[in-house]
Structure 1
């Protein structure tokens, strides 16, 4: 297949248009792998850089994801925001796995990471190293949420409850990951946990430095017994947060690449400046 010489659009736009049509019409289904870069170069008769730019455009549109060393794949659900679990499992196919999380409690991560960890235990996934950094809010200081509905007053019991939720899930992740090194299943496994004096109103995951997942926490009013007293308060609903996915590609100026770069820069800057280890 060659490009139309009468088409005034740049070559990369013609290539992305052809691939987009194939995805939309079902020639490539959810999860299918696109042809490799060299195959697309041969197919369209264009330069490697042209193919890379076309794929970056499709990636920015949310139609495909690119996995380092494996190729480009049609998203599992191109019509709606994605889930974290399948991307985590794909990340564990790499030799060095890195996960950075910033958010309220890491509860979703705790659940999503169990399946790939189980596959490491069974030998179906064989990474050499796993490094996880968890950036959580400091529940010992007043927070924006949880907060009492009545005049938005701070409540130490609510903060203690939130802190315990975070400790439970972060501790579960730490144990599940680090035991793999103790068992000799990976060469190194480390989970670091830090807190900062900022309320978590969004969640961010950065996976293997190449994918970023971002979601806003919806707020809701709840009434429940906390510390033997019924309280009505505003709380976040982490499981209801819709995640949006951005993937870095060959073009560092592409939207997905810039989003991942800036997310990593933000996380690192907070981690190295105002974040600190939670006191016992």
Structure 2
């Protein structure tokens, strides 16, 4: 794959074009890690600086993302939902795991945590510290969503249903993570849950302060059981939400780095000001 010496374009442009073609023809799949800088330099017969310039070009085009300490990866396509689960499992390969979640009930997070937590139990993943923060709505306060479609204000029954769903998943996360600490499989395992008086319009995941996943909750009619009767409510439907992925890289001014930093800033600001510990 040596470059054409008769090509008048700069070497970094030729390398970028070759890698771009490999990505667009799926020789490198979305989410796949590219060869390392030294490997690419050897493959193309160029200096490592040339490879770095080529990768920077592809990063600016949104085709690749650099992850600190991990390498360069083909960016997940935003035209389809990004798989949260493998990124969470990769998060658990680190010595210290931090996950911040803001949203409705944590159902997706609860499901995505099951496999990595099982691998910790079986010694296949060995983080030493796990810290998860859950920022969810205060269901003791009046809300306009969820509510029955024939109501115009707060619906206590729909709110109680929301509270049960939220409790099931947040408590499930707390129990599973705390169990690892009780068994001595990790040095420290903590889960904190705080509530705030706002209707969640989106879900946000921040993994190890290095990656974010963001998606909107659509409000749509949904037939559910309220008490013992079927009712049609306007509900927050997040299971099939498309998640948009951003990751921090070595350039603090890049879109990914700034998006992660601003997401962390927003989460920390809500957590430390208007959020309060959930009352059991």
The Cα of 1:46 is off from its aligned counterpart by 4.8
Deviations 1:103-136 (A, max 9, x none): 0000000001100000011111111111100000
Deviations 1:132-186 (A, max 9, x none): 0000011111223102322422111111111111111001001111111111111
Return the offset for 1:67: 4.0
Is 1:33 equivalent to 2:16 in the alignment? no
Secondary structure at 1:238 match in 2: coil
Distance in 2, Cα, partners of 1:44 & 1:103: 48
1:277 aligns with 2:277: yes
Contact 1:64 1:72 (C-alpha < 8 Å) held by counterparts: yes
* Residue number in structure 2 paired with 1:24: 24
Shift of 1:37: 2.4
Q: In the alignment, what sits opposite 1:187?
A: 187
- Other-structure match for 2:88: 88
Matching of residues 113-124 of structure 1 within 5 Å: 113-124=113-124
- Match of residue 6, structure 1, among 5, 8, 12: 8
SS at the partner of 1:152? coil
Query: Secondary structure at the residue paired with 1:240?
Result: coil
| RMSD between aligned residues | 2.5
User: Secondary structure of the equivalent of 2:190?
Assistant: strand
Aligned pairs (5 A) from 1:1-280: 1=2, 6-7=8-9, 15-41=15-41, 43=44, 45-46=46-47, 48=49, 51-52=51-52, 54-56=54-56, 58-59=58-59, 61=61, 63-75=63-75, 80-280=80-280
Where does the alignment leave 5 or more consecutive residues of structure 1 unmatched? Answer: none
TM norm structure 1: 0.88
Instruction: Give the Cα–Cα distance (whole angstroms) in 1 for the partners of residues 79 and 133 of structure 2.
Output: 31
Q: Give, in angstroms, the shift of residue 23 of structure 1.
A: 1.3
